Amino acid sequence: METLVEICLGVSLAAACGLRVFVPPLVMGIMVRLGVLHLAGGAAWMASTPALVALGVATFLEVTAYHVPWLDNALDLMAGPIAILAGIAVSFAVLSNEDPLVRWSLALVAGGGAAAGVQAATTLARHVSSLTTGGLLNPVLAAAEAFAAFVVSVTAILIPIVAALLGVVLVVYALRRRARGEQPARA
């Protein structure tokens, strides 16, 4: 059961990296500092003061930059690969299985895949928003994504199985809408 919880935690945090790259590691570092989360060997650096300061600054810059309509689309070009790497890193950090092959395999496939899928969906949503509203709603989308990254990260740490189930529900909902040809809501 412990392994299942760790996998749910890792995948949920990785998915949150697909929304905002630096929010999940920052939340993880804070939760480790508060004693709520324990990371696998080698990842305790996330709770160090220099790491928390760096992650805090990076989070602020990332969240702020995504509120600039022309810059947000440009950031998506870089965020894809970075989100995948962050997803792999956060997944690996929470998996305690002693077998490195198992840890790396789960982190690469599940963590990297979750981050890639969410990042692709947010990139598509931003492009649709840019095309349909001329970028006017992009700051609203950016705020919703940042908020969701925070909520998913906290929920994943406090109740990982629920966070994973919510993630599955959201993915199924998005896929069903896409299969029916529905467009995102327009304001």
Sequence-distant contacts of 134-142: CB under 8 A, at least 24 apart: 135/69, 135/70, 135/72, 136/69, 137/187, 138/67, 138/69, 138/72, 139/67, 139/69, 140/187, 142/63, 142/66, 142/67, 142/72
Dihedral in degrees, nearest 10, Cα atoms 139, 143, 145, 149? 150
| Coil, helix or strand at residue 30 | helix
Q: So what's the pLDDT on residue 153? A: 94
Q: Is 185 contained in some domain?
A: no
Ordered mean pLDDT values, 10 residues apiece, the chain (187 residues): 82 93 97 91 89 97 92 88 96 87 92 92 89 91 94 90 73 68 52
What's the domain range around 16? 2-179
The 10s digit of each residue's pLDDT in 99-139 is: 889 889 999 999 999 999 999 989 988 888 899 998 899 99
Residue 18 belongs to some domain of the structure: yes
Residue 30 forms part of a structural domain: yes
Compute the distance between CA of residue 93 and CA of residue 28 in angstroms, rounded to an integer: 10
pLDDT at 139: 94
Task: Report DSSP state, residue 40.
Answer: P
Reported as type and span, the H/E element at residue 111 is: none
Looking at the 3D structure of the chain, how many domains does it have? 1
Instruction: Tell me, yes or no, whether 184 lies in a domain.
Output: no
Q: Cβ(14)–Cβ(114) under 8 Å?
A: yes
Determine the pLDDT at residue 187. 45
Does the residue 187 lie in any domain? no
